[in-house]
Chains A and B, each alone.
Chain A
């Protein structure tokens, strides 16, 4: 079965930073995502199986987001990953 989940790129603009919200699992993920959105978090992906929500928000919003029920921690997204170019002998 082929599935195409088109990636909605949430560009981290000058005032918004890419973030990852880690959830406790005490509430359904879509409910937590709804509350995050209401609080100003731009939702990118609701990742049920690993209990995380990816997206972006203004840096100052972290405290407020962490106050939402079902949220464990909010942190800045980590660095990009990269593999060497196809011509590189060591990959």
Chain B
């Protein structure tokens, strides 16, 4: 935790009378355990005994008091109680005491009360919620909001958050990969997508650089959308028109579409190899292969992956959807010369379906919003295909940062900068891919 966050928590945990409800909630969540208590106390006085009781607290216990009468129309605005130790509500015979003030005087809910004294009871203050509110969800919302504010204030310096909140106008996957704050756009980097084609007439890709080839005898713009969805994540536009959130990472990359799958989604090894050959021949720095087949490691794919590395290219493949059992990574991802990508969900945990075993790195792969052929234009899908697409997009941004980041060097950079996740490497590899600053 960053120093600022720790300090905030320390202040909040003292639960002053002027501390606002959300800060109290945050502190309670951070404390853990019984999060129903705000950390302050309510002192209830016997009828007619309040004045005497309050006087005693002031003179003998040194409590600084704020009275309801101090406020206009006796409407107490707790946030304006300043550094008062307690706020007195005379008409209901209750005083609210701050956590620190209570602790200093050894007062807790367990304090034994003199029977002939002015105090009726001392009780912990509890949070209350509107009926119908799911308290757990509400708490999560409070945490998310506070984190977003903290991030804005600290301008991204050092703070490490547990869960990455969704920033409006961008998909959760891009946010998790830190694509939006990146200053890179993939300009000049060639990204090959070997898949079932692409809808070249998609309005959000008008004016983009496209080089295409089909290896299955049918046209690039087909009926199936898998390739469109994958290319959308890796290379989609910075600011789609209208109310559409940003879903693409390398928005100025040069897109190479190699159709190696028919519209029914199948391809022979020969067709895949032909596509690989084309991408390497064109020196595409990033080659996204979001498809897979059964069987063990294929020597041909391994050799193709090596040829890619030898020529300054990096192949990135989806691990497959045969998880969560081990040993389920398909080809070509299982080749040692090809980066294998597993899927994580919004909580950054491995998706159940994600294949396990030889996994090099992870990418967002659940409920991923991206482009789709006309007329639908967009679709939300899950799969390691999307994970590979996120890695490919980030790889393009990294490649842009320096001419030496190619092939094996690019691969090493991706692994070194991945965000560590608390899960086995057989599920997430080096961790969640991150875009460069």
**The residue from B224, B272, B274 contacting A5, defined by CB atoms under 8 A apart:** B274
Query: For A77, what are the chain B residues with a Cβ–Cβ distance below 8 Å?
Result: 268-270, 300
Write out, one digit per residue, whether chain A residues 67-79 have a CB within 8 A of any chain B CB (1) or not (0): 0000001010111
> Which stretch, B25-33, B38-46, B379-387, B420-428, touches the partner chain A?
B379-387
Give the CA-CA distance A78 to B229 in the complex, in Å.
Answer: 26
A14 within 8 A of B: no
Query: For B264, what are the chain A residues with a Cβ–Cβ distance below 8 Å?
Result: 85
Query: For A5, what are the chain B residues with a Cβ–Cβ distance below 8 Å?
Result: 213-215, 274, 278
Query: In the complex, which of the residues B269, B295, B304 has the most CB atoms of chain A within 10 Å of its own CB atom?
Result: B269
Tell me if A79 and B299 are in contact (CB < 8 A).
no
Beyond A5-B213, A52-B303, whether A81 also contacts B381 by CB under 8 A is: no
> Which stretch, B72-80, B286-294, B390-398, touches the partner chain A?
B286-294
Query: For B211, what are the chain A residues with a Cβ–Cβ distance below 8 Å?
Result: 1-3
Tell me if A83 and B299 are in contact (CB < 8 A).
no
Give the CA-CA distance A4 to B303 in the complex, in Å.
Answer: 25
B216 within 8 A of A: yes
Tell me if A91 and B268 are in contact (CB < 8 A).
no
Tell me if A49 and B311 are in contact (CB < 8 A).
yes
B18 within 8 A of A: no
Distance in Å: Cβ of A16 to nearest Cβ of chain B: 13
**The residue from B214, B217, B281 contacting A9, defined by CB atoms under 8 A apart:** B217
Give the CA-CA distance A43 to B121 in the complex, in Å.
Answer: 93
Give the CA-CA distance A3 to B292 in the complex, in Å.
Answer: 25
Distance in Å: Cβ of A19 to nearest Cβ of chain B: 9
Give the CA-CA distance A10 to B269 in the complex, in Å.
Answer: 12
Distance in Å: Cβ of B211 to nearest Cβ of chain A: 6
Tell me if B265 and A85 are in contact (CB < 8 A).
yes
Give the CA-CA distance A3 to B220 in the complex, in Å.
Answer: 10
Query: For B295, what are the chain A residues with a Cβ–Cβ distance below 8 Å?
Result: 78-79
Write out, one digit per residue, whether chain B residues 292-315 have a CB within 8 A of any chain A CB (1) or not (0): 111100111101100110010000
Residue of A nearest to B301 (CB): A78
**The residue from B196, B229, B269, B274 contacting A80, defined by CB atoms under 8 A apart:** B269
B276 within 8 A of A: yes
Give the CA-CA distance A2 to B271 in the complex, in Å.
Answer: 18
**The residue from B269, B281, B290, B294 contacting A20, defined by CB atoms under 8 A apart:** B269
B277 within 8 A of A: yes
Tell me if A86 and B311 are in contact (CB < 8 A).
no
Complex A-B, nearest 7 residue pairs according to Cβ-Cβ distance, in ascending order: A47-B277, A54-B270, A49-B281, A81-B293, A91-B383, A49-B280, A50-B307
Q: What are 13 A-B interface contacts by the 8 Å CB criterion? A: A4-B214, A5-B213, A7-B215, A7-B274, A22-B299, A52-B303, A75-B299, A81-B266, A81-B292, A83-B261, A86-B265, A89-B382, A90-B383
List the interface of chain B (C-beta within 8 A of A): 195-196, 210-217, 220, 224-226, 229, 261, 264-274, 276-278, 280-281, 290-295, 298-301, 303-304, 307-308, 311, 321, 331, 353, 381-383, 385-386
